[in-house]
Structure formats: C-alpha cells, structure tokens
Amino acid sequence: MTEQLQISADVHTHTVASTHGYSTINENAAAARALGMKLLAVTDHGPAMPDSPHVWHFHNYKILPREIDGIKMLYGVEVNIIDEFGTLDMDEHELSFCEWVVASYHTQCVKFERKSELVSQGYRMLCDNPLVDVIGHPTTAMFPFDYEPILKLFKEAGKLVEINESSLKWKQGALENAKTVYALCKKHEIPIVLNTDAHYAGLIGKTPIAAQLLQEIGFPRRLIVNLDPDYIMDMAQRKRQISFDSDEKNFTKESS
C-alpha cells in the first residue's frame, strides 16, 4: 500500500448545517470531483450535539439531487450514541429520512461514566440496530472499549468500523489506539471504511495520516471497502432501496 491511498467514497462529512462545519454540499461535492472521487455522504450531526441542525434538515433531504457535479450523493447523519445501552438521539422514524448512518460517541452527548465496560456494552447493544451503517471514530481515548470482542461483533453485525482522519489528527490518544484497533481488524479480517470526517471542503477525500498508519500495519487494501464506490452503493441500495440510476429517490418514496 502506498501513501497515495485515494478513497473513492467519503462517507462521513459535514457541511455548514453543523455550525462548526464551514462548507456547503456543493463545495464538498466539487472537492470530491477534483480528486476523481465517485461518492459522497453528507452526515451532519444528530440533535444531541449542541450545534446540530434542526431535525427538519433531515426530513427535507428528499429535495436534494441524487448526483452533484458528477458525484453520487448519500444524505445521512452522524447520529449520537447517548448512553451505555446504545440508544441513539434519533429514533427509527427520524432515521427513516436518512440514507446513510454513522453512529458515534461524543463527550458532549453522554452523561454515563465512560469506562470500558459501559462503552463496550453500548456498542454491543448498538449492533442490534439495523439502521446503523458505520461505527464512527472508535479510537477516541475518551471512549475506551474492549477492542477485540467488540470489533468482531461489529463485523458479525455488518457494521463498518471507521478509520477517521480527522480524529487521528486532532484527538489526543486516537493514533495510539488506532494502531491497536486496525491491527485487530487486520487480524480478524474486519472490513473498515476510511473517512475524513471533513468539516471543510479542502479536507474532503484526503487521508494522509490514516494512509501512513495503514501502511505501517500492512493493512490489506481489500478490507478498505470505500476504495471501491460500488461497495458503498451496493450496501446503501441493498439496505434502503436507493436507486443511483436516476434522480428519483425510490428510497424516500417507499418509506413515506
């Protein structure tokens, strides 16, 4: 694996809809196009985050185009895991408006004591939620968990384990934890998704720190599912009947 690892699909990105994001959907799509990418998922923050958009933001996704600037689009959310029971801050009805769901722990959104036993339990119970696609930044030092059994469980439950460029760059301890987490993913053949979690268009699709780490570990490319945009599109299509072949969102029609 070289350091020029270029993902084709960035499926954890933010826009101005979260006020600590600084770019629009169109700007993000243009940035993805400039890198020759194929797919982008918009995943602004769920309601428990202090600067998240109102839930109407998610309800109105139906008006947005299936493709922008030649980039296929998924409109989703980074939903918050709010307790040690895997509860999310959006219920089934709210999530029915979303085409792609990243579930993450954030310190601002939880009140329980963040010890490994409870974080692990939260992840374990989250695995029963069929609406979750990706486990967001599972390397945060603030949320330790019992890595090996829980990562294996993510694989069994069909949840993609994320390697998050933004977290590796900005969160204390994330890089050290990541070495352990992704070595375990390699050992157990657990598929991962390599995302930027970009909050600015200039950061879309760029993953130098993660690429370096994966190279050091000797992580196999075949387990990085979003090097192939079809993998993500197939997963979304299978789960939510999304059609990428036309501008019609069969998904929203069927679930309304």
Among 84, 94, 165, 197, binds Zn ion (CB under 5 A): 197
Q: Least distance from C-beta 14 to Zn ion, angstroms? A: 6
Site string for Zn ion, 36-75 (x = CB under 5 A): ----------------------------------------
Q: How far is the CB of 88 from Zn ion (least distance, A)?
A: 13
Q: Among the candidate windows 82-90, 114-122, 191-199, 203-211, which touches Zn ion by CB under 5 A? A: 191-199
What long-range pairs does 63-70 form, CB within 8 A, spacing at least 24? 64/25, 65/247, 66/243, 66/244, 66/246, 66/247, 66/248, 66/249, 67/244, 67/247, 68/25, 68/26, 68/29, 68/40, 69/26, 69/29, 69/30, 69/32, 69/33, 70/33
Q: Is 78 in the site for Zn ion (CB under 5 A)?
A: yes
Min dist CB 193 to Zn ion, Å, is 13
Report residue 142 as tokens: 């603030």
Q: Find the shortest distance in angstroms from Cβ 245 to Zn ion.
A: 29
Find the shortest distance in angstroms from Cβ 18 to Zn ion. 8
Least CB distance from residue 182 to Zn ion, whole Å? 18
State the number of binding residues for Zn ion (CB under 5 A). 3
Segment interacting with Zn ion, rule: CB under 5 A, options 47-55, 112-120, 173-181, 197-205: 197-205
Is 94 or 197 the residue whose CB approaches Zn ion more closely?
Answer: 197
Would you say 87 or 241 has its CB closer to Zn ion? Answer: 87
* Closer CB to Zn ion, 82 or 249, in the complex: 82
Query: Which range binds Zn ion by CB under 5 A, 56-64, 195-203, 216-224, 228-236?
Result: 195-203
CB 236 within 8 A of CB 243: no
Q: Footprint of Zn ion on residues 101-160 (CB under 5 A)?
A: 104
Q: CA 82, CA 172: separation in Å to the nearest integer?
A: 21
Q: Which is nearer to Zn ion, 99 or 197 (CB)?
A: 197
Smallest gap from Cβ 114 to Zn ion, in A, equals 15
Give the nearer residue to Zn ion in terms of CB position, either 136 or 229. 136
18 vs 121, beta carbon nearer Zn ion? 18
Picking from 3, 28, 2, the residue whose alpha carbon sits closest to that of residue 15 is 28
> What are the residues binding Zn ion (CB under 5 A)?
78, 104, 197
